[in-house]
Structures are given as structure tokens and as C-alpha cells.
Amino acid sequence: MLALLQRVAEARVVVDDETVGEIGPGLLALVCAERGDTAAEADKLLAKLLKLRIFADDAGRMNRSLQDVGGGLLIVSQFTLAADTTGGNRPSFAKAAEPQLGEALYEHFVARARTAHGQVETGRFGAYMKVQLVNDGPVTIPLRVAPPA
């Protein structure tokens, strides 16, 4: 399972001119399930995301986690993270989980996030979304949790 994390001052997701998810300071997490992923990978990815120390402490060093600072978490599904660009100019998305599995793992990830963290907002799986953000830093971190071999 993959995620691209962006530390944000604010972020929101708009679908059909309606804001469906919005946070202030925190993390925007673009997440993607790959073929072979299970709930175990989703749980590992979430645990890493919540504890990743990418927020400033009193000395200005990245030493605090999302949970430490109590920031918002905006979770957006993004199958294009699984793009393979090694052959030609058109990306292949063959590594992305099929939509039914992708949606199930996304919903699992969101449900677990809501249990583990106070403020969780989401996009809408499978929808055409406009994601607006003010990147803070900028800080952008890729995360990957691979399924067992």
C-alpha cells in the first residue's frame, strides 16, 4: 500500500463544486492500494503515518507526529500513485488494486484512522476530485508498505 503525505497549513477536497472534506493544519494523505494488499498493509501504513515525526517541536526540528500535534488528517484515494512509467510515455496502472479491493481497503483505512485519530476527513472514492492545499514547509513524504513476499 502506498501513500504520499503532504504536511499542510490547510487542505480541502471538492467534488461537483461541493467541499466534501476539509482540514486546517495537519496531513493530506493520498493513498493507493496495490494488487496483493490486505487490511494488514493498510493497518501498517496508518500506524506509520500517525507516528511519523514530521512536525516541528519547540526547537523547530521535525520531531513531532500528527498525533502529537493533534492536526487534521485528510485522506484521499489516488490510484495513480501506483503508476509505472518505465515503459513509454503512457503510465500503466496495472499495479493498482482493482476498484472493488481498492475501495474496500480505502474504507478500512479510513475507519481505522477515525478510531485512532480525532479529526479525519476524506475525499470520495472513485470521484473526480479537486484537491486544494497549502503545503507547509513544503514537506512531502512518500510511504510504502509492501505485502509479504
Catalytic residues: 78-80
Q: Which of 50, 149, 45 is nearest to 106 (CA)?
A: 45
Q: Residues near 22 by Cβ (< 8 Å), separated by ≥ 6?
A: 10, 11, 12, 13, 74, 121
Q: Residues near 74 by Cβ (< 8 Å), separated by ≥ 6?
A: 8, 11, 12, 13, 21, 22, 23, 26, 27, 28, 29, 120, 121, 122, 123
- Grid cell of 136 as nine digits: 507547509
